[in-house]
Structure 1
Amino acid sequence: MTLTLDAVLRSAGIEPAETQAIRHAFVREHEDSGAPGINANSTDAEILAYTCEQSAKPRIFPAVLPRLWVVFMPEGGDRARLWSVLENRGEATNDGARRTFDLVATDLLADLTGRLVIGWRSPRTWRLNGPTAAAYPVLEIADAQPVPFPGFDWLVLDHFQLQAVMREHRYASWRTALSSVVGIYLITDTRDGRQYVGKADGAESIRQRWSTYATNGHGGNVELRNVDPSSFRYSILRVFDPATPTRVIDEAESHFKHALDTRGHGLNRN
């Protein structure tokens, strides 16, 4: 049974009927407007700006458009490599010849960006309705390139990034590093600035502790159960060798709770 784009979209919670697919072509300029085109060396910002501007003629670009645009880049012949999934927040301008849209990148299929390649059966067609594109075959899902571990002092993750670190192959070295230490970490709710100081000690490494946050958002902490983890930011305050006595780690945890006042104005209860 052939794997199709339909299965990939649905695995990410994307309904094909609510999307359109675009495969850009490398051109020097738009045929109808003379505006600059894109090429293999174009930046993400340039590709996004290029995608935002479309023809106002309904026969070229539909008048009514879905919320999600799944955008691919050309890769010779009938291949198309995933660039990004964009959210269409509506038409921004329309001068009768050109329309611009308020498009923003989403996290949907982010783990497959640059890795997912589908067969594009109609090389001359650059835009497809979602259900049509969904039937196209997946030709390749390339291995993810490893992401270098930045070091404990420079590690700052939002909740989505934390989930990626805990599951994706490209972050294997990060998981190894986090498995090698215990210590004190900080969770900041970026909506209101409140902070939570936590610890991983004994047989529980920072990786094990953070895996629970990636899974359920609160890690079993009463203080965090009623807070939406999507706004959390995770960082490390201090690391210790796993052989460090629990007493030493407890003292460090108490110090940071006092220094950051997370009992009085944060999310720590004790």
Structure 2
Amino acid sequence: MTLTLDAILRSAGIAPADAQVIRHAFVREHEDTGLPGIHADSTDAEILRYTSQQSMKPKIFPANPPRIWIVCIREGGDRARLWSALENRGEVSNDGALRTFDLVVSDLLADLRNRLVIGWKSPRTWRLNGPTAANYPVMEIADAQPIPFPGFDRLVLDHAQLQAVMRDHRYAAWRTALSSVVGVYLITDMLDGRQYVGKADGVESIRQRWGAYAANGHGGNVELRGLDPTTFRYSTLRVFDPATPTRVIDETESHFKFALGTRKGGLNRN
């Protein structure tokens, strides 16, 4: 049985009727608008801007485009590699010939960016409605390139990144590193700057402790309940070998609470 784009979309929670698929080719100039095209060295921002500008002509582009735009890059005449899924937040300008849309990069299909390749049956077609594209075959899902661990001194994650680290196979080296240490860490609420100093000790590694934050946002800490974890930033203050006595970790945690003032002006209650 052939795997089609339909299964990929639905597994990501995307109904084909709510999507369209665009295949960009590298061109010097956009044939519909006369605007500069994209090339192999175009940045993500340039591709996003290029995608956001579309023709007024309904024969070229739908009058009411769907909410999700699946954007691919042409590979030969019969293949398209996923660049990104975008959320269409509506038209923001219209000069009578060209419409500009507010497009935002979505987390949908994020783990398949640059990995998913679908067959493209009509070489001259650059846009498909979702139900039509859903029947196109999946040609390849390439192995993702692993992301190297930056080291504990440079480790800073927001909540979405923390969740990715805990589940995405590209971050396997990160999980291994976080599993190998205990220690003291910092959570900063970027909304108001308040900080929380926490620890992982005994049989609980930093990976296990942070896994709880990734799962529910507060990790069981009373101080963090009711706050929005999407505004949190996570970093390590000091890491130790798991054989380190608990009292050493406790002393280190107490030191950072005092040094950073997290009992009086932060999120620590004790």
Amino acid in the other structure paired with 2:70: V
Deviations 1:10-67 (A, max 9, x none): 2222222221111112211122332211122222121111111111111111111112
* CA distance in 1 between partners of 2:208 and 2:120 (Å): 42
* Residues 11 and 228 (structure 1), Cα distance of their counterparts in 2 relative to 1, 3 Å cut: farther
Deviations 1:94-141 (A, max 9, x none): 111111112121222111111111112222211111122122222211
* Superposed CA RMSD: 1.4
Q: Look up the match of 2:195.
A: 195
* CA distance in 1 between partners of 2:206 and 2:64 (Å): 48
Amino acid in the other structure paired with 1:28: R
Unmatched runs of 5 consecutive residues or more in structure 2: none
What percentage of aligned pairs have identical amino acids? 80
* CA distance in 2 between partners of 1:266 and 1:9 (Å): 43
Alignment of 1:174-213 (within 5 A): 174-213=174-213
1:84 aligns with 2:84: yes
* CA distance in 2 between partners of 1:21 and 1:78 (Å): 14
Q: Look up the match of 1:53.
A: 53
Deviations 1:226-268 (A, max 9, x none): 2222222111111111111100100111111122222223222
Q: Look up the match of 2:112.
A: 112
CA deviation after TM superposition for structure 1 residue 142, in Å: 0.8
Q: Which moved more, 1:121-130 or 1:220-229?
A: 220-229
Q: Look up the match of 2:240.
A: 240
Alignment of 1:1-270 (within 5 A): 1-270=1-270
Amino acid in the other structure paired with 1:37: G
CA deviation after TM superposition for structure 1 residue 152, in Å: 0.4
* CA distance in 2 between partners of 1:151 and 1:180 (Å): 13
* CA distance in 1 between partners of 2:172 and 2:41 (Å): 29
* CA distance in 1 between partners of 2:202 and 2:258 (Å): 22
* CA distance in 2 between partners of 1:194 and 1:14 (Å): 37
TM-score, length-normalised on structure 1? 0.95
CA deviation after TM superposition for structure 1 residue 201, in Å: 0.7
SS of equivalent residue, structure 2 residue 90: strand
* CA distance in 2 between partners of 1:32 and 1:130 (Å): 22
Deviations 1:167-212 (A, max 9, x none): 2221111111111111111111222222211101111111111112
SS of equivalent residue, structure 2 residue 218: coil
SS of equivalent residue, structure 1 residue 208: helix
SS of equivalent residue, structure 2 residue 234: strand
Structure 1 ranges of 4+ moved more than 4 A: none
TM-score, length-normalised on structure 2? 0.95
SS of equivalent residue, structure 1 residue 149: coil
Amino acid in the other structure paired with 1:8: I
* Residues 211 and 20 (structure 1), Cα distance of their counterparts in 2 relative to 1, 3 Å cut: same
Q: Which moved more, 1:214-223 or 1:45-54?
A: 214-223
* CA distance in 2 between partners of 1:76 and 1:198 (Å): 52
* CA distance in 2 between partners of 1:33 and 1:23 (Å): 16
Amino acid in the other structure paired with 2:200: A
Unmatched runs of 5 consecutive residues or more in structure 1: none
